[in-house]
Structure 1
């Protein structure tokens, strides 16, 4: 969340620039879309120098770093004010979204598109390193997908290799899942770790998910080099680039070649090759304009490095490594020398929301009460128990990995425990099920009586059949809503979204599932239209 001192609204003036809208906010300031006196648009990054001296010094360093770079995938600076109370820097503005948002909206990149993305970003990163700058924050949130291709943005955490560190005493800044393992262990951030973060970002681009997850669980998975990638060209090279052994990591140019299918990358050994612009990386097209600063705040975790451990790593690697940043989720964590990163217990990550898909399926089962009221209610109860057990199983797996780290066979072991989770979920669902039966059954019975006595429907056959069907369907919907929002059902709701996310990994699959539910509702309506009478099983037949 941005500091109060940098909060601006559209129409406000900043150093002669008029604020048009907000592009992003973060702990070090805010980024605004602005318009200059000539009507040209730009991106302005503002920090409150009075409230945060470190942030102001980082911004000054960012300006100096970018002024020394000339690359089509690295933004240029138009203006800067570093001495006043309002400390800001102005970049050329281009339309686009972050890589993270691009993948969320359109899905992962593959084939030639993935290879071109990797080549352009690797070339930009090598140019940054050739200028003597370490980015320290390479993540999907800090790559802008412009009309001309990806652009590496937000050098707010960058530093020249000869600069003194600006991270607050005893802390290393970054985001879980995009920080190189040697940096977590205490090594000084440098180009090697920047390349690791780049590889993690490419892995996200390939799969559509953070390669090591988020939160403190990502720390243990990073240290174990536990990453799952699809069996596609370049995947083996990416796995090697994300390994713990610095000497065995292929260079970005080798990863790009493997992604393009040009070669098979074998683990390296011995000394680490120097940082140079790889000739194997294809040249990038010159952009008409560069990207603005980040459009979304990044979540940050902090670890306190053990000095002796850092010295040992520095001696063993010979070259400093660099820290990265991500855009995904996770609450800030502060870990001291006496704490173990992997043992910090944090809540399980919230499942992605699939509200439309969940709502249409619940509605489909609920309106089926017009044809089989008791069966529909039992299916709703069974569904609630299953999704609650799914969430219980996910929570148990998450807790185990928080305590011991990720191990082979964890998922299978906790799947074997699913019957216990089902039994526990059934017991926990009883109060909400009773309430749902009372609300839904009561509403259906009242509606049935009002229709039968011709208070809500005419005496004709069509009027009575449609009236009774609607009464039962309304009862089913009320039962479903009560079950969803009933007492102690938050775990059930979360499990519903988690199961929906598993069944619909992409937007297209989610749309297909939604259409199936809509088709089910249409079938119920057609059956009522054809004068189908309710099936009361397992209860005795009631008067038709």
Structure 2
């Protein structure tokens, strides 16, 4: 297995603008993410110096929503950065697989990301590249990755002066205009990420970057289909001018249900924001009072109508008609109001930006996240454990029966919990507290497992009893000759083998098999551990058989149970 800087590289996770990311293992077997920087970054002395200062700063970042930097090597030929390994899909992959978030789900995501950004900003770091691909959805909630390091990549700029690297649609418009990166830019990106999660579409559409940047500068965000109140809050937070942006705490208040339409309308008015459908095709319309009827009359007839010149007179000239009388104009959202009657306000959802193709058009299907796949089968480990149980049953069948029953109950409970959690995540995606909810429901999973286990014990036990009776009829002491002294052990071995096979492959046992695989994956995650257990089971099983054949073990006993009589 390839190593780098004392870390064993397990598999390649992906590659991006900064470098290649690997899943790696420390010397004590802990999983980490290791990013090997590209040569154009790692070989630049000034970039190395900036990276060194950045890593020193990022070591101070703490928070469950932040993938912390654990180690870095900036002086070696292969510069790399080591961070915590987050097990889960990216927000981008999750939305592609399961669709947009509901409002409660969006609130959980918003709070998790807000906590992460606050932790980053407290130590003076600006993320600068918050986007759906840099948000991982772990079992404990959203985790921000790749923060701060992107500053190294941003420093050299692009090929033209004034150009910065970044993702159109998630990069603060003021930074694009030349402003220095600041926490306000991260909060703008935070709102853009929430808009993506709420719609499943890029917030400012796709297509040429020029068009995306133009929509960003106009605040023309695509929020079609989003709850109207939430859409208006996100629209306010995504204003191009940071002085007129709705604070993230206000967006959280709307998502939590602590603010109603009146609260939001007041906050937007304090920022001099009076959106209307006429301002932009994607802007929510916020009414400040009841429904108003504009003083517009019927169809007006232009004075003079159409003039027809006499024969040949004035032909080819342009006639200037008198301007028609039009109603006076009104400032949107202020003068055109009526008294607030307390009636429900209308908050129409914004429409998508024009000429924005479907974001997923032409894209390759996203790979299934790790949580979406059941644990892989481990036939070698399972067969070795089964062999050990059968070998021990030749002497202590009662103890083995109790242990096998316990394993069936445990594996069935784990299997039901695993299936339930996977189904919940298919429906709602990975959310904070999934494991806690599964643990709370474990008594119900135990009951279901007990019902299946009882059925399997009846079927497997009946089969083993029939095999034992038939075997005792066929294998008489006379027919075994010198092996007659171990006749009872041989009969128990045969019936125990049939019992284990039927209990494992019998009807309804699929959930037990899935649970057993999940337990093996959790308790024995590494091949070496599985190999050791397999070898021990095989060797101890052989030792039991040899001890029985040589008479080193006592006669079979069913204690603490009462077993059948072998004729």
User: Shorter-normalised TM-score: what interval?
Assistant: 0.3 to 0.5
Query: Bigger radius of gyration, 1 or 2?
Result: 2
